[in-house]
Structure formats: structure tokens, C-alpha cells
Amino acid sequence: MTIGMAKQLVKDNKGTTHYFRFRGARNQIEEFEGIITDIYPAIFIIKQQDEKIRSFSYSDVLIDNLRILY
């Protein structure tokens, strides 16, 4: 996968509800449900069901720290 492919994957899933799995520090895994609301050149924004807003970079998708589950 390349950065361009990661950006396209995020773009294709914008606006629909998905489950996400994020592998954070010390391999702690967090799963949440949300919608990709905004896309910028370096980051994208996910609004969770509990109204919490999180931002991620495309490299998180590229190195598999963030997975979009269906």
C-alpha cells in the first residue's frame, strides 16, 4: 500500500459509519464507531458516536495503526 492508496481508502469511506480499530501506545487496542467527516492533505477527522472528535494521519492507515472495519 502507498500513501496515495491510503488517501483513496479514506476518501472512499468518507461520510458513512464504520467501526475503527486503533493500535496506540504500548500496543493498546481501542475500537470505536464513527464517521470520517473531513479530509485534509495530511490528516483526516473522525467524529465518534459520543461526539468526540479525533484526527489521524494517512500514515496511521499505511502502517496499519488504524484499521477501517466494516
Q: What does the alpha-carbon distance between residue 27 and residue 47 come to, in Å, rounded to a whole number?
A: 23
Q: Residues 40, 13, 7, 65: what is their CA dihedral angle, to the nearest 10 degrees?
A: 100
pLDDT tens for each residue of 27-48: 899 999 999 999 999 999 999 9
pLDDT tier at 11, thresholds 50, 70, 90: very high
Q: What is the pLDDT of residue 2?
A: 93
Q: Identify the three-state secondary structure at position 47.
A: strand
| CATH T-level assignment (fold) for domain 3-69 | SH3 type barrels. (2.30.30)
Q: What is the pLDDT of residue 70?
A: 81
Q: What does the alpha-carbon distance between residue 52 and residue 64 come to, in Å, rounded to a whole number?
A: 22
pLDDT tier at 58, thresholds 50, 70, 90: very high
